[in-house]
Structure 1
Amino acid sequence: MSPALPRRRAFLLVTAVAAAGALTLTSCGSGGTSGGSGDTKFVTGTGGISTVAKSGRHAAPKLSGETVDGKQLDVADLKGKVVVLNVWGSWCAPCRAEAPYLSKVAKETRSKGVEFVGINTRDTDKGPAVAFEKQFEADYPSLYDPIGKLILRFPKGSLNPQAIPSTIVLDKDGKIAARALMALDDKKLHQMIDPLIAEK
């Protein structure tokens, strides 16, 4: 056997593993769970929602830029409110499944000091994203992040988005408090949001 063959097989294996890792964030599925270990301070409940005690939360990264409808938005300006960040793509079936619930709960909780912000990703053109927002009556803004730059700003070891869809909830201090790596219904959204509304 040629000595080049084992090297070629090893190279192909490494390439395949790297490609699988890169696909984790671009995949569109039911998501998964990620429990705390080592020095992480978050806990994943049986419903797939991870939470962090107030004392162990990390500040959210800077999330600003142009929205799908061409306006400017800086999430830091929403400090003092509970902020629900939803990572979505118009091409993603689970995103479409959860969209009506997101719109519903956004309307229900706005008067309680909750703001929803989408992060639209992997849509190389704004057209389908605009159509998605119109179809599902999403009356909250979405940052346009076609290549995932904003998503990659979340620090490793925090409750960072790892799938599409992902939903991350920031507390009133702008810190990462909860995360779900799956499509959500209204009940699960309230499970993530309501305790943070009640926090002093």
Structure 2
Amino acid sequence: MTGLRTRHMLWIALSVAVVAAGLVGVLASRGPATASPGPCALCGTTAPPITGSSIDGVSMSPSGLGGRFVVVSFFASWCGPCRQEEPQLESFAREHQPRGDATVLGVVFNDDPANVASQLTANRASWPAVADPGGRIALDYGVANPAETYLVAPDGLVVAKFFGPVRESQLDQAMVSARAERA
């Protein structure tokens, strides 16, 4: 009788452990609904340069981005939160690029540039994306996973960092705050 009770208790404990592990796994794999500002070791420092080839094969350099805010989005075609934020980035780009006060620049994170090009074309994204085949740009920015987004001010200083799918309103607010700090 004691052996049956012990075996029964063992099965209950094992079942509880499996359910708890499953719950932890589900919660850990869910991304946030919107981006959250995070610790930013680069904030207040000059943004690392972004050079290389765009996914279209065009040479990119930081000199073409100066004088305006630059949203640097580390993303991949396989990243769910990245796909979630893409319409927000596109809306931001369409609002600000014609004014010349801000632009969006994507950095391909651990993905085939052809996959990214197909996704951006299918979604009619208007912003350029630079390939990062060796991960050097991501390493310079300290990016471990997409979706991570940085806001770089016109003076070249990093002013904000977001984890998860960023919203247009968050970028607009970060720009307003950065302008107020510089006034």
TM-score (norm: length of structure 2): 0.72
Whole-angstrom distance in 2 between the partners of 1:82 and 1:66: 21
1:57 aligns with 2:44: yes
Q: Which runs of 4 or more aligned residues in structure 1 lie more than 6 Å from their structure 2 counterparts after TM superposition?
A: none
- 68, 71, 75: which is aligned to 1:81? 68
The 3 A distance-change label for structure 1 pair 29 and 86 is farther
User: 3-state SS of the aligned residue for 2:105?
Assistant: strand
Q: Give the C-alpha shift of residue 197 in structure 1.
A: 5.1
More moved, 89-98 vs 104-113: 104-113
In the alignment, what sits opposite 1:193?
175
Q: Is the 8 A contact 1:30 1:181 kept in 2?
A: no
Q: Tell me how large the CA RMSD over aligned residues is.
A: 2.5
In the alignment, what sits opposite 2:4?
none
The 3 A distance-change label for structure 1 pair 197 and 109 is farther
In the alignment, what sits opposite 1:165?
147
Q: Is the 8 A contact 1:87 1:121 kept in 2?
A: yes
Whole-angstrom distance in 2 between the partners of 1:74 and 1:197: 25
Q: In structure 2, what residue type is equivalent to 1:102?
A: L
Q: Give the C-alpha shift of residue 136 in structure 1.
A: 2.1
Whole-angstrom distance in 2 between the partners of 1:194 and 1:68: 31
Q: Give the C-alpha shift of residue 162 in structure 1.
A: 3.6
Whole-angstrom distance in 2 between the partners of 1:118 and 1:98: 12
Deviations 1:166-191 (A, max 9, x none): 00000111111100011112222222
Deviations 1:2-39 (A, max 9, x none): xxxxxxxxxxxxxxxxxxxxxxxxxx8637xxxxxxxx
The 3 A distance-change label for structure 1 pair 97 and 62 is same
The 3 A distance-change label for structure 1 pair 79 and 29 is farther
Q: Is the 8 A contact 1:49 1:192 kept in 2?
A: no
1:139 aligns with 2:126: yes
The 5 A counterparts of 1:1-200 are 30=31, 48-50=36-38, 57-110=44-97, 111-123=99-111, 125-154=112-141, 160-196=142-178, 199-200=182-183
Q: Is the 8 A contact 1:66 1:73 kept in 2?
A: yes
% same residue: 24
User: 3-state SS of the aligned residue for 1:184?
Assistant: coil
Q: Give the C-alpha shift of residue 91 in structure 1.
A: 0.8
Structure with the bigger percentage of helix: 2
TM-score (norm: length of structure 1): 0.67
Q: Is the 8 A contact 1:89 1:120 kept in 2?
A: yes
Unaligned runs of 5+ in 1: 1-27, 32-46, 155-159
Q: Rg larger in 1 or in 2?
A: 2
Whole-angstrom distance in 1 between the partners of 2:90 and 2:69: 16
The 3 A distance-change label for structure 1 pair 134 and 194 is farther
Unaligned runs of 5+ in 2: 1-28
